[in-house]
Structure 1
């Protein structure tokens, strides 16, 4: 096999050196009948099968236009990541486990590559694993989900404390006008609902001479001050429960129970985050 190079308009025929003679081979991807080769960023060669790649990805997602070795796509991922990723081209490879990713960044890198190369099963499992980090790394996951149109992840993050974040920061994370429009509208509705829930404190307690209601009301209002607090009945009940338990007068307990019921009803009637 040969390839050509043109130096000063003189065509030079150069023997094509077998790629296996100067690049290390990944032992797990070195089948004799491999017909596609991919080179990692740390110079490890992977022998794959074009038919498997096309079945899993729906095409051929690797670009060899600027490869160092003619016909062998150079990819930016290291071999350790590619071993996990390329396992999804073959049904007989062991399943990837959550424990195979020591850190969140390892998992995010894997998820990014799975999305880049359209490896459907890897995309699915990485999305499931990312859900375990929703509360720890919501900003990073939101940016990733918006970039790759993972609607379910965006919806789930909208139900976390990140809904309280400024819209300027959210716009920077989303970098998507459609997602940002839905997010900002959802937050506006939640903010208006919170104001409505706060206003209920003005009429649920009728005892003007009660000496403890003012303190209880203030404590509730301090917590009922962010859009995310109306995301679930559980959050609302947890907000009121300790104050109901410590209420010294029946009038205060009754007022808190009524207020909680009204707030829960407000939350129930709010539309969900829909993309």
Structure 2
């Protein structure tokens, strides 16, 4: 029998079942997904299927992300390892979980300057200009190979032009 989320289990009444990349099942209400996200179809368009929908995110990421689709106190994202925080932020963007998207992009600055490169890449990928502006000065002088690994291609040429101004 597959492992099930402590929070989003069969007794929670969720009518859509998701399976994390590490095999944990999450029972989530289709109406909540439809109201609070743009990456999942609205509640009327989701058909209830007894087969779990596989997702690429780990159970630790989904446990946090799905809390944002319900009208209740949102999870605190402070004191979280940056790798988990970034994975939650990426999942929020991928599935357009609006409340999570907002809180993640606001909290990103708390990880500066230590995670400037990753934040710069995230901000460029998801079009958060104020995060780009906050991280940019911390990256002046970094090797271009490091910047090229994190910055989306459409922003790389402007970055090089900015850094190597005559």
Length-normalised TM-score, structure 2 = 0.79
Q: How does 1:1-275 map to 2 (within 5 A)?
A: 22-30=1-9, 31=11, 33-60=13-40, 71-99=51-79, 101=80, 103-158=81-136, 160-177=137-154, 179-189=155-165
Note the alpha carbon deviations across 1:208-233, whole angstroms, 9 max, x for none.
xxxxxxxxxxxxxxxxxxxxxxxxxx
Aligned pair in 2 of structure 1 residues 171, 77: CA closer, same or farther (>3 Å)? closer
Shift of 1:38: 0.7
Note the alpha carbon deviations across 1:150-171, whole angstroms, 9 max, x for none.
322112212x231223445433
For the 8 Å contact 1:111–1:126, the answer to whether it is kept is yes
Aligned pair in 2 of structure 1 residues 90, 186: CA closer, same or farther (>3 Å)? same
Shift of 1:176: 2.0
Shift of 1:93: 4.0
Shift of 1:88: 0.2
Stretches of structure 1 that go unaligned for 5 or more consecutive residues are 1-21, 62-68, 193-275
Q: SS of the counterpart of 2:53?
A: coil
Shift of 1:173: 2.5
Q: Which has the larger radius of gyration?
A: 1
Note the alpha carbon deviations across 1:228-268, whole angstroms, 9 max, x for none.
xxxxxxxxxxxxxxxxxxxxxxxxxxxxxxxxxxxxxxxxx
Shift of 1:143: 1.9
Taking CA–CA contacts closer than 8 Å with sequence separation of 6 or more, which of the two structures ends up with the larger relative contact order? 2
* Structure with greater proportional helix content: 1
For the 8 Å contact 1:34–1:49, the answer to whether it is kept is yes
